[in-house]
Amino acid sequence: MISAVETPGLDPAKIDAVLDLFKSAGHTHVNPPILQPADVFLDLTGEDIRRRLFLTSGTDGVDLCLRPDFTIPVCRHHLALQKASLPAAYCYNGPVFRQRPDGLGEIPQLGAESLGRNDIAEADADVLALSVNALETFGVSSNTIRIGDETLFAAVLTGLELPSVWRRRLRDLFGETDKLSAAIGRMAGGASSDDESRDVRLGFLSALEGADPTAAHAVVEDLLSIAGIAAVGGRTPSEIADRFLEQAALASGAHGHDKAAETLTAYLSLKADGANATDALNSFAQKYQLDLDAPIAAFEQRLAAVENKGIDRTRLTFAAEFGRRLDYYSGFVFEIHAASDAVEGPLVGGGRYDKLLTLLGAEHKVPSIGFSMWLDRIAASIEANS
């Protein structure tokens, strides 16, 4: 039996039982190092995470951090194995570390990852069902399941008459509803901020727009050099220049896309239970004359697979706006929340991250999906219902 890391408020025997459940489903227990290279997380999750990391340095000067999650360390563990084969499945139990406004920032987690399965719908259903069974093993059966799918949003974007720079920008913002809505409003010609610094920046971007790309690129690099800036957030001056030119294109193209904005706003407002979600998506596609047949068929295939695992469709709530604000997430995402409002945040969070292993150095795309369980929240949920 795998030895469980104890969590206040949870019976250690139940933690062991959940780990045994994972093991019986084919997941090998791993315990990646607590200290991880900080640049991996900064590169893959963005500079926003820096303020949440516990950072330190090695004797060689390399920036290190306490692991803020398990998914990236587990994938790095897999890639480091000399004879790693696919498909592969792993489970884990231990703390992750994130700066919090209250509390110590040491968060106990359990979870499971599935790498390399090509039967996408079945893999999605298996992982969701495993997380539901794990919660039931803890004695938590009254909950709500929220699902989303970035492939649908990407397909909607593809069907719209938008410049590629806007498609890229909107997809980058998927998962951050407020920022995405603001960008859509600006794209449709909404009023911009009257903040003076913003006006100056937009003026600079407007000056760049329409200039010879090579010359504009050189101007930005020269300005960074004069300012003594060698890199920002791991980006080179050349990459920063590319970002400035993209912003210039965005600034100049923030008008004339009312129809696209209307379509995206309508899509992001879609909500339906699992029994009616496919019909809602088909109705949307028909109304806005979009070819979404393939992603909707894949969505329905997943729902059928989930139903075959014994999870009634009506337990699922589809929200078109729901996604993860991380580039390596690529499709299906889910969260399981306590039925009561006594616990803030999801008890379980999971999703598909088909891009991650390639970004970490894998030679070929590796379809992957997993989930993490927040044991402190599960303990609070059990206490609230006792």
Q: What is the DSSP string of 212-268?
A: -HHHHHHHHHHHHHHTT---BTTB-HHHHHHHHHHHHHHHHT-SS-HHHHHHHHHHH
For residue 48, which of 186, 286, 278, 233 has the smallest C-alpha distance? 233
Give residue for tokens 């227990």: 29
Range of weakest confidence among 65-79, 98-112, 178-192, 237-251: 237-251
pLDDT surpassing 50 at residue 274: yes
Position 160 pLDDT exceeds 50: yes
pTM (predicted TM-score) = 0.84
Percent of the chain with pLDDT over 90: 61
- Between 328 and 19, the more confident residue is 19
Q: What is the pLDDT of residue 232?
A: 52
Name residues whose C-beta falls within 8 Å of residue 9's C-beta, 6 or more positions apart in sequence: 376, 379, 380, 382, 383
pLDDT at site 188: 79
Q: Supply φ then ψ for residue 261, to 5 degrees.
A: -65, -40
Q: pLDDT > 70: what percent of the chain? A: 81
pLDDT band at 326 (very low <50, low <70, confident <90, very high): confident
pLDDT greater than 70 at residue 251? no
What are the residues whose beta carbons fall under 8 Å from the beta carbon of 48, sequence distance 6 or more? none
CA–CA distance, 359 with 209 (Å, rounded to integer): 31
The rounded distance, in Å, linking the Cα atoms of 278 and 301 is 10
Q: Which residue has the higher pLDDT, 191 or 378?
A: 378
Under the phi-then-psi rule, with left for phi > 0, alpha for psi from -120 to 50, and beta for the rest, what region is 184? alpha
What is d(CA 117, CA 130) in angstroms, rounded to the nearest whole number? Answer: 16
**Higher pLDDT residue, 278 or 222?**
278
The residues near 354 (Cβ < 8 Å, ≥ 6 apart) are: 328, 330, 331, 365, 366, 367, 368
Beta strands in the chain (DSSP E): 28-29, 35-37, 55-57, 63-66, 88-97, 106-115, 143-149, 271-273, 316-319, 332-338, 348-352, 368-374
Question: Does residue 71 have a pLDDT over 80?
Answer: yes
pLDDT at 140 over 90: yes
331: three-class secondary structure by DSSP: coil
Q: Which of 146, 181, 113 is nearest to 332 (CA)?
A: 146
The pLDDT of residue 194: 43
pLDDT of residue 5: 57
CATH 3.30.930.10 for domain 1-142+363-386, yes or no, is yes
CA nearest 316: which of 373, 372, 347, 277?
A: 277
Lowest mean pLDDT among 51-60, 71-80, 152-161, 163-172: 163-172
Residue 119 CA, distance from chain mean position? 21
Of the candidates 144, 158, 146, 124, the one whose C-alpha atom is nearest the C-alpha of residue 321 is: 146
Q: Which residue has the higher pLDDT, 3 or 128?
A: 128
Distance CA 319, CA 317 (A): 6
Three-point CA angle 267, 272, 274, nearest 5° = 125
Residue 210's pLDDT band, with cuts at 50, 70 and 90, is low
**C-alpha–C-alpha distance, residues 196 and 199, integer Å:** 5
Categorize the per-residue pLDDT at 214 as very low, low, confident or very high, splitting at 50, 70 and 90.
low
Is the Cα torsion angle 153, 159, 161, 164 positive or negative in sign?
positive
Indicate the domain borders of the chain. 1-142+363-386, 164-258
Average pLDDT over residues 335-351: 91
Strand 28-29 to 88-97 pairing: parallel
pLDDT the model gives residue 135 = 97
Q: pLDDT category, 2, cuts 50, 70, 90?
A: very low
In this predicted structure, the answer to whether residue 127 has a pLDDT above a threshold of 70 is yes
Calpha distance 17→2 (Å, rounded): 9
